[in-house]
């Protein structure tokens, strides 16, 4: 069973937009209080991009994407999304959705806090 499956990646020009989606299995969606998007560029460490707490009331973003990316979740369709706008070449990388427990009602953008990961979807922003 695939618990997390991403889609929506592709190649866009600088300034363009993309919307990533992650379908979450019903069993994981029920118990995961924290969901997030991470990304990893070649030869760089995995970086937390955005997170959302169960219920959707609390979100968090890395400084590098704040104001450009929006994370959201659709409880009816068990889907996590990432709307990305004003893309720049530095946004290029493999994007992963992840799920795990929240701590004190928040989701830290730390990969060690997430035990479930998707396979990733590639985003390439050309200059």
Give every CB contact of residue 113 below 8 A, 6+ residues apart in sequence.
Answer: 34, 100, 101, 103, 107
Torsion of CA 10, 38, 65, 61, to 10 degrees: 140
23-74 residue pLDDT tens = 999 999 888 899 999 999 989 999 999 999 977 778 999 999 999 999 999 9
CA distances for 32 relative to 25, 38, 66, 75, 98, angstroms: 10, 16, 24, 12, 10
Q: Does pLDDT of 1 surpass 80?
A: no
Q: Which residue has the tokens 């493999």?
A: 94
104: pLDDT confidence band, cut at 50, 70 and 90?
confident
Q: Specify whether the CB–CB gap between 95 and 9 falls below 8 A.
A: yes
Q: Does pLDDT of 103 surpass 90?
A: no
Mean per-residue pLDDT over the chain, rounded:
94
Give the pLDDT of residue 106.
84
Q: What is the strand order of the sheet 69-74 is part of?
A: 4-7, 18-24, 79-84, 69-74
């Amino acid at each position: 069973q695939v618990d997390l499956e991403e889609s929506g990646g592709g190649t866009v020009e600088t300034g363009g937009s993309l919307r990533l989606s992650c379908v979450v299995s019903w069993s994981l969606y029920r118990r995961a209080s924290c969901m997030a998007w991470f990304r990893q560029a070649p030869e760089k460490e995995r970086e937390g991009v955005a997170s959302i707490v169960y219920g959707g009331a609390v979100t968090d973003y890395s400084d590098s994407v704040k104001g450009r990316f929006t994370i959201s979740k659709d409880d009816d369709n068990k889907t996590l999304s990432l709307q990305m706008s004003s893309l720049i070449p530095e946004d290029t990388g493999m994007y992963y959705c992840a799920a795990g427990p929240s701590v004190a009602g928040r989701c830290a953008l730390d990969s060690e806090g997430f035990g479930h990961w998707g396979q990733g979807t590639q985003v390439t922003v050309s200059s």
